[in-house]
Homo-oligomer: A and B are copies of this chain.
């Protein structure tokens, strides 16, 4: 199988106390660890209620944007395979040791052509969920706020979107489920790609923009009702909503975009269809990209393309 999923998103926040309030009290993530990084930055580690590995979100105090993404592979030999493929693509790969990330095993680290840092690992400490695995209840009895069950995906910007798609296809065996193109002609250029290695409608998406930037990372919710309730709670908690609740044309998912206190864009996302590698790829042309991104408003707001961290 290779890459199973995005195991963690590690992001920077300007103020850890405010950020903790957002990710714990509003989003309802479970704090699993705090420490100080080797370079002296305070960090906090979180997981959603339906995740069993030690953490899926890491906040690091100082600045904004994404530090790195962790990708969990099914077998330890997948690390070696990806290492070779990445090197073959001309990328410099370094080995990372167990414990460089708390509760995460050995692996590799490299910078993608889009200038995002990826870590690939196979081992993580499984701490389980509150409902356990023996005759488990359907969900924990006392969730906090939005009660996000899990990290879902991220969208980043890159100067060369097609190049990044090629990289993810080659190195991670990702395939695109939807693409945005300047035209349907042969000389149409790819300005957006939504990619996955499994049945999630997207694990990692890339749109045109500056290198190394974060557009958003997303939490998975159960359905449209939960998306609407999340928006209600954001209002109660003074969380700035960017757009939503609405539907995406691309992926068909239901969504709210919002900002954490440091200005990093978050998303809650539900629905979307099951992805399969043999399903014909959906193609969106730029004239319909407003509808593709915000299915109801049918136009992009300026923030969508300009606010990045």
Contact = CB atoms under 8 A, between A and B. Distances in A.
A303 interface: no
Contacts of A128: 280
Contacts of A134: 184, 282-285
A130 to B, nearest CB: 12
A224 B138 CA distance: 14
Contacts of A279: 52
Interface in A214-249: 220, 222-225, 228, 231-237, 241, 244-247, 249
Contacts of A291: 135, 235
Chain multiplicity (copies): 4
A249 B280 contact: no
Nearest to A129: B280
A5 B278 CA distance: 11
Contact of A278 (B4, B256, B281, B283): B4
B247 A277 contact: no
Nearest to A241: B296
A50 to B, nearest CB: 6
Interface string A114-136: 00000000000010100001111
Interface residues of A, number: 66
A263 to B, nearest CB: 17
A112 interface: no
Contacts of A222: 223, 271
A261 to B, nearest CB: 16
Contact of A245 (B1, B126, B199, B245): B245
A275 to B, nearest CB: 9
Contact of A274 (B1, B52, B200, B244): B200
A295 interface: yes
B241 A136 contact: no
B282 A138 contact: no
A141 B5 CA distance: 33
A133 B283 contact: yes
A280 B133 contact: yes
A297 interface: yes
List of 9 A-B pairs having minimum Cβ-Cβ separation, nearest first = A223-B223, A199-B199, A225-B225, A135-B288, A231-B296, A133-B280, A133-B282, A137-B236, A198-B199
Given A74-B277, A231-B296, 18 more contacts: A5-B276, A52-B280, A133-B283, A134-B282, A136-B249, A138-B236, A138-B252, A138-B295, A141-B233, A141-B236, A198-B198, A199-B200, A199-B274, A228-B254, A231-B247, A235-B291, A245-B245, A256-B296
7 contacts: A52-B279, A136-B249, A137-B236, A225-B225, A231-B247, A232-B295, A232-B296
